[in-house]
Structure 1
Amino acid sequence: MSENFKLRIFTEPQQGATYDDLLRVAKHAETTGYDAFFRSDHYLKMGSVTGEPGPTDAWVTLGGLARETSRLRLGTLMTAGTFRLPGPLAISVAQVDQMSGGRVEFGFGSGWYEAEHTAYGIPFPSLAERFDRYAEQLEIITGLWSTPADETYGFDGEYYRLADSPALPKPVQRPRPPVLIGGHGKKRTPQLAARFADEFNLPFADVDTAAAQFERVAAACAAIGRDEAEVARSAALVLCVGKDESELARRAEAIGREVAELRTNGLAGTPAEAVDKIGTWRERTGITRLYLQVLDLTDLDHLDLVASEIAPQL
């Protein structure tokens, strides 16, 4: 795979996947040369699928994968801020970073899927409060990781207060693992990205929408005197490619989608079509990483096709 452009696998295990399913995909991704394995952080299925056998926890999963892989970067798109207190979350992520030898990337969002909160008894504040908490959580988590080893950390916010924290454990990556922020919010999201993000991710958008959002992030960086080049740009698109139309149709049917819709909204079609679309994205938006949303976790040949027919052309 290209050293300058990264293809990453992104899974949605709340739709129905065990840890063993994820392990099989992650190991295959590592063997075939992908840069990273990411997963969503959700506790409830979406759409008409059954979701069986039920959800797996993102950071428990990544802790396991940390010990069973050796090269892959590992992360979340995105860990939900509503699920965990910031102090314990900083501990969990730092521990997985240690377990992986420094391969963790921390995608972090405010949380949005109300039904999963209701289903599992998780408080779901208003959008305004979620974002206020999210901003404090970002400051706390990055602050804990960045605190020098011989100092303590404190924070006194509206929602969270920490006093005399030893700010341990420390992640392997110093001063911290890369922080990913993403989403379509036009004001607060770019502002938080400018302050905290090492990467900004636009999921499931068209190229014009993505380009406009990346420019908002760049403007937010300029407003605080940060070099916009310090924030890598990435996108996430559903993957559905086939050697020919029949294979493409089979893969689309397996994930309950229409080929025409996928060609418009995803990375779909023949390998040549996929290469062209990635080229357009790179030229128009400046992305250096693309997360391929793999919805059929049983189809490892799909990963092979991308690795052999698409990746070498990037």
Structure 2
Amino acid sequence: MEVHVFTNPQQGSTHEQLVVTAKAAEDLGFDGFFRADHYRALGGIEGSSGDAWVTLGALAAETSRIRLGTLVTSATFRFPGPLAVTVAQVDEISRGRVEFGFGTGYFEDEHRAYGIPFPVTAERFARFEEQLAILTGLWTTPAGATFSHRGEFYELTDSPALPKPVQRPRPPIIIGGRGRKKTPRLAARYADEFNLAFPAVEEIFDQDLYLRAACAEAGRDPGTLRRSAVLLLACGRDHAEVARRTEALAAYVPEALEHGLVGSPAEVVDRIGQFADAGITRIYLQTPQQFDLDHWEFFADEVLQQVK
């Protein structure tokens, strides 16, 4: 099982907190450090966030081993050409450690707050799919050749398709969601990893049926598509510490807490085993007090090596 730290800087953060936490994740043996791509806080509590790819570019220079990525970059925030350049550049700075989580965008308030167009759902999915074709096309165009695209929303003419990412043919792409048709179809065609946020174990089995059907239609071996999950974490030395961290989780939806990793180290190890039995091979851990190094250190000491 791969284990990654996942943060939501839009809920309130400083660059120093992100750097310190990412370096701690690397030193403690975690496999990666990921952040959300939001410009405005969720849940009505405003916090300072910053841009996800500016953050990752800075962290790429501050770390040396851990994977770095987004869950997930919003297709509504950026044009596909400049986005391909940005991701490839951060991949170069990190020497090939970037993971590209990508989604349609969904939080309307942040679009309105920063003057970003927010099309209806059908158009967002159509733009998302076209961007996937452009991004992968730019990244995989041979050196010295050019890339052109004429679609419904975007047109590129004789692009030099530079810079190239260090990872070849491209950085891993992560797509997630609970759709039965569109999302599994796009994942089967473009993704290296399919992600579910705060799933019940039973839900993983159900979603896997849709993924397998989409892979069969695309002529793809479903075993080549990694399954992952975002999980809430509240692990403690005793009941009081678990209760304190569980109380801090109350701001999240009850289902996320119910399906999360809550309890003693032994209970958390057992719970992770259930997700592994369901086919999950990578988890992203989210905590309400996301820069609580004591929590991350305790988890690393008591749980991490057992599940890795």
TM-score by length of 1: 0.94
RMSD between aligned alpha carbons? 1.5
Q: 1:252 to 1:49 in 2, by over 3 A?
A: farther
Structure 1 residue 256, shift from structure 2 partner: 4.2
| Residue 240 of structure 1 pairs with residue 213 of structure 2 | no
For residues 68-105 of structure 1, the C-alpha deviation after alignment (integer angstroms, 9 at most, x for no partner) is 00001000000000000000000000000000000000
CA contact (8 A) 1:62 1:74 kept: yes
1:88 is matched with: 82
Distance 1:19 1:215 in 2: 41
Structure 1 residue 305, shift from structure 2 partner: 1.4
CA contact (8 A) 2:111 2:117 kept: yes
1:253 is matched with: 247
2:295 is matched with: 302
The one-letter code sitting in structure 2 at the alignment partner of 1:187 is K
Greater mean deviation of Cα atoms: 236-245 or 7-16: 236-245
2:28 is matched with: 32
User: Equivalent residues in 2 for 1:1-314 (5 A)?
Assistant: 5-51=1-47, 54-257=48-251, 264-284=258-278, 286-314=279-307
Structure 1 residue 157, shift from structure 2 partner: 0.6
Q: Please, which runs of 5 or more residues in structure 2 have no aligned partner? A: none
The one-letter code sitting in structure 2 at the alignment partner of 1:222 is A
Q: 1:124 to 1:263 in 2, by over 3 A?
A: closer
CA contact (8 A) 2:101 2:173 kept: yes
For residues 276-303 of structure 1, the C-alpha deviation after alignment (integer angstroms, 9 at most, x for no partner) is 111111112x111000013313310111
Q: 1:301 to 1:103 in 2, by over 3 A?
A: same
Structure 1 residue 261, shift from structure 2 partner: 6.6
Distance 1:261 1:132 in 2: 30
CA contact (8 A) 1:240 1:262 kept: no
Structure 1 residue 214, shift from structure 2 partner: 2.2
Structure 1 residue 255, shift from structure 2 partner: 4.4
Distance 2:179 2:291 in 1: 34
For residues 164-195 of structure 1, the C-alpha deviation after alignment (integer angstroms, 9 at most, x for no partner) is 00000000001100000001111100000000
Distance 2:182 2:248 in 1: 38
Question: Identity rate of aligned residues, in percent?
Answer: 57
CA contact (8 A) 1:140 1:155 kept: yes
The one-letter code sitting in structure 1 at the alignment partner of 2:292 is D
Distance 1:213 1:9 in 2: 24
Q: 1:103 to 1:125 in 2, by over 3 A?
A: same
Distance 1:15 1:132 in 2: 29
Distance 1:120 1:114 in 2: 10
Structure 1 residue 257, shift from structure 2 partner: 4.5
Distance 1:264 1:280 in 2: 14
Give the secondary-structure state (helix, strand or coil) at the position aligned to 2:83. helix
The one-letter code sitting in structure 2 at the alignment partner of 1:68 is E
| Structure 1 segments of 4+ aligned residues over 4 angstroms from their partners | 255-258, 260-263
Give the secondary-structure state (helix, strand or coil) at the position aligned to 2:229. strand
Structure 1 residue 263, shift from structure 2 partner: 5.4
Greater mean deviation of Cα atoms: 241-250 or 126-135: 241-250
The one-letter code sitting in structure 2 at the alignment partner of 1:24 is V
Aligned residue pairs, count: 307
Give the secondary-structure state (helix, strand or coil) at the position aligned to 2:56. helix
The one-letter code sitting in structure 1 at the alignment partner of 2:46 is T
Give the secondary-structure state (helix, strand or coil) at the position aligned to 1:43. coil
Structure 1 residue 232, shift from structure 2 partner: 0.6
Give the secondary-structure state (helix, strand or coil) at the position aligned to 1:44. coil
The one-letter code sitting in structure 1 at the alignment partner of 2:178 is H
Distance 2:288 2:86 in 1: 27
Greater mean deviation of Cα atoms: 303-312 or 81-90: 303-312
Structure 1 residue 50, shift from structure 2 partner: 3.2
